[in-house]
Amino acid sequence: MRPFALSYARPAVKSATETPYTYDATRQLNVLSDGRQATSSRAVLMATGTTASTAGSKTHFDD
């Protein structure tokens, strides 16, 4: 028998978003292709969704 709560679950939609930044081990933070900090771009923050509330709920206990 399937647990009660799972009857309300729905398939996870996998985001196809490409990460437009890379980790810079020297600076210890992520940078854009032009060298700026990735967090300096509001558009990047919004587009990647890595800072959104649901980002955590899909992969971690906390969000």
Partner 1 sequence: MTVLVLTCEEDLTADTVVAVLHDLGVPLVRLDPADLPGRVHLSADYGTNGFHGYLRTNERMVSLNSLRSVWVRRPGTPGTRAEERSTWLTLESEQALYGMLTSTRARWMNHPAAAGQARYKPWQLHIAQQSGFTVPATLITSFPAVARQFADTYQDLVVKSVSGKHPDDPPLVLPTTRISPDADFTAVAAGPTLLQQHVRKGADIRLTCVGGHLFAARKEADLEEVDSRFAENGVWKPAEVPEHIRRSVAAYMTATQLAYGAFDFAEDANGTWWFLECNQGGQFAFIQLDTDQPIAEAIAAWLAADPLA
Q: Which residues pair with residue 37 across a beta bridge?
A: 31
Q: Is 36 in the site for partner 1 (CB under 8 A)?
A: no
Q: Is 61 in the site for partner 1 (CB under 8 A)?
A: yes
Q: Is 18 in the site for partner 1 (CB under 8 A)?
A: no
Determine the Cα–Cα distance for residues 39 and 24; give it in Å rounded to an integer.
13
Q: Is 11 in the site for partner 1 (CB under 8 A)?
A: yes
Report angle CA 34, 39, 43 to the nearest 5 degrees.
Answer: 85
Residue ranges binding partner 1 (CB under 8 A): 1-14, 19, 21, 23, 25, 27-30, 37-39, 42, 44-46, 48, 50-58, 60-63
